[in-house]
Amino acid sequence: MKKITKDVYLSWYEDMLFWRKFEDKLAAVYIQQKVRGFLHLYNGQEAVLAGSLHAMDLSKDKMITAYRNHVQPIGMGVDPKRVMAELYGKSTGTSNGLGGSMHIFSKEHRFYGGHGIVGGQIPLGAGIAFGDKYHGSDAVTLCYFGDGAARQGSLHETFNLAMLWKLPVVFICENNGYAMGTSVERTSTTTEIWKLGLGYEMPSGPVDGMDPEKVAKSVDDAINRARSGGGPTFLEMKTYRYRGHSMSDAQHYRTKDEVQEYKDIDPINKVKDVILKKKYASKKQIEEIDLRVKERVKECEKFAEESPFPEKNIMYDSVYEQQNYPFLKHKI
């Protein structure tokens, strides 16, 4: 694994803070009805992404996840302005404004969504890995899903084939405690979701998902195993989301005290504490980072606000890659 240095911690702090503030801005403009539909925010789970990205080779490795997917493509290299524009439904967005909140996608940066169907991305992640193995690539796919999706039958079918074919895939469950508003305790006889992998003799284990360094080490081990032909790994990231399942979530299923308990171990504060303790940066330098993040978010908002909505023909022109597709007459 790449060494975890002063620069890594400073990068983690700025990236994780930017992701948090990016999501906060989306929440604010959602209330103003500038972003429509569903909106699922990543606040609290940033360490999972930060640690994973550190372990990945971003020149070839791939990522696929569920609908809480705004900041992952940014981490993979997608311009955050285009991500925000996509949520606004603007033509400058990652999918010309047609995908919206749950369907961010970037072929160029090997980010394959953004999937609204619960657990729908799990077999797709294995399929991407199968393609890499078939074509002799040594790329590894990281496939993320939530604790609720772990109850889907497709997970078991996928685990079975992934082990049978030794696919280069890392399955990562971001267990934030609740499937929408239903706790893990109410959906399973065991709260240790990682044990699901043991039935397929898949290397599996729990990880502190509030610490990017612990995440990085676990994901690095899993990626090395996959890249060397050892097959898949299943990691359960123990994390927490500070906001509701979506913006329409009244959160009656948990107390404010519970949320505060997890805010006391906020992964961003944890990274900042390490930076200050090891004197990687002064408080003034931290404030400069905070200000820089604030300005970057403003730039994203300005870009999205000023971008035009897509023309109607985009609905047709974005469907088929083939030019002059013969079976669909242009209606406009």
Q: Domain holding 139: CATH number?
A: 3.40.50.970
Does the predicted model carry a pTM greater than 0.75? yes
In this predicted structure, the answer to whether residue 164 has a pLDDT above a threshold of 90 is yes
- The band of 148, judged by pLDDT with boundaries at 50, 70 and 90, is very high
* Residue 327, in any domain of the structure: no
> Which pair of tokens denotes residue 197?
């992998």
- What is the number of alpha carbons within 13 Å of residue 278 lying toward its C-beta? 13
* Residue 15, in any domain of the structure: yes
Reported as a single tens digit per residue, the pLDDT across 213-239 is 999 999 999 999 999 999 999 999 999
At 328 the pLDDT is 64
* Residue 326, in any domain of the structure: no
Reported as a single tens digit per residue, the pLDDT across 177-199 is 999 999 999 988 889 999 999 99
- The structural domain count of the chain equals 1
The Cα diameter of the chain in Å comes to 64
* Residue 330, in any domain of the structure: no
The C-alpha atoms of residue 155 and residue 194 are separated, in whole angstroms, by 12
* Residue 325, in any domain of the structure: no
At 322 the pLDDT is 76
In this predicted structure, the answer to whether residue 331 has a pLDDT above a threshold of 60 is no
N- to C-terminal Cα separation, the chain: 53
* Residue 1, in any domain of the structure: no
- The band of 318, judged by pLDDT with boundaries at 50, 70 and 90, is confident
Across 83-107, average pLDDT: 96
Across 16-27, average pLDDT: 98
* Residue 124, in any domain of the structure: yes
At 332 the pLDDT is 52
Q: Is 162 exposed, middle or buried (0-12, 13-18, 19+ CB in 10 A)?
A: buried
At 52 the pLDDT is 98
Reported as a single tens digit per residue, the pLDDT across 42-83 is 999 999 999 999 999 999 999 999 999 999 999 999 999 999
Are 30 and 39 a contacting pair, CB within 8 Å? yes
The C-alpha atoms of residue 277 and residue 280 are separated, in whole angstroms, by 8
* Domain that includes residue 120, residue range: 6-317
Q: Is 254 exposed, middle or buried (0-12, 13-18, 19+ CB in 10 A)?
A: middle
* Residue 271, in any domain of the structure: yes
Q: Is 89 exposed, middle or buried (0-12, 13-18, 19+ CB in 10 A)?
A: buried
Reported as a single tens digit per residue, the pLDDT across 253-298 is 999 999 999 999 999 999 999 999 999 999 999 999 999 999 999 9
